[in-house]
Structures are given as structure tokens and as C-alpha cells.
């Protein structure tokens, strides 16, 4: 059964759907305090213990205008069917989808704002897997560079299929989640203590539903 409609609900209340994404945002909000992005050194494995297999760190390569996996979680590698640490992220994606993801991540590292996106992946053998990608900014040890702390989690467990790696990817939705009020972008509603993510609509990064279709 194709789960496209189930995986990618257009209801705004479902902007962050996956439990792994929610845990990343909760942890990041708690650790960062008043900072736009916490130092990487203060984010420990203990903080992320519940989701660590799905966590990766992406570094912006300004020369190639791309992102590199400085670290890729074991579950992410197992799900994709290959080792990702040290490789260029999204390098084998179609141009449109790769550029869409990169624009979202550029907001994470450039404006220190989180983003969340959803994409579909297909394998040689015809497997279809829906994913949610969540990304938050963290400061590198040099105190200057900003990295993206990312979770890439499937909506159903797809590990253990190395012989049938995922090879085709299509972005379904990407959205910036404003964690702080920025000039010209007021928060659209009061933030309650129960909110896990504070967000407003982005005027410079369009929400994409359905990718190229």
C-alpha cells in the first residue's frame, strides 16, 4: 500500500509529525536557552540518547555549495543502505529536490532557524519509504561555523536492506520553523508553554507540496 497521503498530511498542525523530530526540537530548545544556536560541545550523546542512531551532523561546503556528512547515524546509514559519513549529502538526488533541501539547510546555518521537511525514497527493488528530516543549528568548536544537527527518520523501519539501497528521492514538503522573532517576521500567535515548536510562514522559502507533481 502506498502511504503517500498518510505520510504527508497537509494539515498545518502536523508540521512536525515524527517522534524523532519532536525529540530533536525539544532537546535543542532545552539546551540552547537564550542562544540562537548552542555550541556543539554542549550537546552530548546523553542528551540525544533516545534518537542518536537517527542523528547526523551536516557541514556546509562553501566551495561546492553542498553539504557533507561530518557524522551520520548508524540507523540512517542502515536505512539508506550505505555508509554516509564523509560523503556529500543528497549528491545522488535529482537537481530540484537536492536544491530544495539545500535551501532549507541554508536557512538553518545562515539564519540559525530550524527546518523540517518530508521526502519519499524508492529502492531498486521497488521499496517506498517516507521520511521526515528535521534540522537545527549548532555552533562548531571554533565558535564561527554553524553546522546542521539533523535527524532523518522513516515513518516505518526500513533498516537491514543493504542489498536494496534507496536510490530515488523526491521532496514533498519543506518548512522553516521560526524559533525566534526576526525583523519583519512577527510571530503569528502567542507561544504557550505547551508548544514544542514556534513557527510562522516563511516569505522567502516556499512550502512545496507534492514536489514536481
Indicate the domain borders of the chain.
Answer: 17-176
Closest CA to 150 of 63, 90, 212: 90
- Contact call for residues 165 and 126 (beta carbons, < 8 A): no
State residue 80's pLDDT score.
87
Residue 6 has pLDDT above 80, yes or no: no
Residue 19 has pLDDT above 70, yes or no: yes
Buried b (16+ CB within 10 A) or exposed e, 51-86: bebbbbbbbbeeeeebbbbbbbbebbbbbbbeebee
Beta-bridge mates of residue 198: none
What digits encode the pLDDT tens for the residues 36-55? 999 999 998 889 999 999 99
The CATH T-level fold of domain 17-176 is Beta-Lactamase (3.30.450)
Average pLDDT over residues 171-185: 71
Report how far Cα 135 is from the mean position of its chain's Cα atoms. 4
State residue 82's pLDDT score.
86
Closest CA to 198 of 208, 209, 185, 207: 185
State residue 144's pLDDT score.
86
- Contact call for residues 86 and 152 (beta carbons, < 8 A): no
Q: Which residue has the higher pLDDT, 139 or 62?
A: 139
Residue 77 has pLDDT above 80, yes or no: yes
Residue 4 has pLDDT above 80, yes or no: no
Q: How confident is the model at residue 204 (pLDDT cuts 50, 70, 90)?
A: very low
Distances (CA, A) of 17 to 38, 41, 132: 24, 28, 8
> Can you tell me whether residue 54 is helix, strand or coil?
helix
What digits encode the pLDDT tens for the residues 22-33? 999 999 999 998
Q: How confident is the model at residue 169 (pLDDT cuts 50, 70, 90)?
A: very high
Structure-block grid coordinates of residue 37: 544556536
What digits encode the pLDDT tens for the residues 111-168? 999 999 999 999 888 889 999 999 999 999 888 899 999 999 999 877 765 578 888 9
Amino acid at each position: 500500500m502506498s502511504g503517500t497521503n498518510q505520510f504527508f498530511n497537509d494539515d498545518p498542525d502536523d508540521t512536525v509529525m515524527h517522534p524523532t523530530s519532536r525529540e530533536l526540537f525539544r532537546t535543542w530548545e532545552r539546551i540552547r536557552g537564550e542562544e540562537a544556536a548552542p555550541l556543539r560541545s554542549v550537546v552530548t550523546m546523553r542528551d540525544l540518547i533516545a534518537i542518536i542512531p537517527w542523528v547526523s551532523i551536516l557541514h556546509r561546503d562553501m566551495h561546492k555549495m553542498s553539504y557533507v556528512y561530518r557524522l551520520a547515524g548508524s540507523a540512517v546509514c542502515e536505512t539508506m543502505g550505505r555508509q554516509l559519513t564523509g560523503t556529500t549529502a543528497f549528491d545522488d538526488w535529482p537537481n530540484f529536490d537536492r536544491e530544495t533541501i539545500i535551501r532549507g539547510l541554508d536557512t538553518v546555518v545562515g539564519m540559525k532557524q530550524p527546518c523540517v521537511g518530508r521526502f519519499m525514497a524508492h529502492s531498486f527493488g521497488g521499496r517506498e519509504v517516507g521520511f521526515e528530516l528535521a534540522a537545527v543549528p549548532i555552533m562548531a568548536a571554533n565558535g564561527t561555523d554553524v553546522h546542521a544537527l539533523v535527524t532523518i527518520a522513516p515513518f516505518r523501519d526500513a533498516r537491514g536492506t543493504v542489498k536494496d539501497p534507496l536510490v530515488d528521492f523526491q521532496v514533498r514538503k519543506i518548512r522553516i520553523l521560526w524559533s525566534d522573532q526576526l525583523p519583519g517576521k512577527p510571530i503569528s500567535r502567542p507561544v504557550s508553554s505547551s508548544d514544542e515548536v514556534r513557527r510562522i510562514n516563511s516569505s522567502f522559502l516556499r512550502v512545496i507540496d507534492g514536489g514536481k507533481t
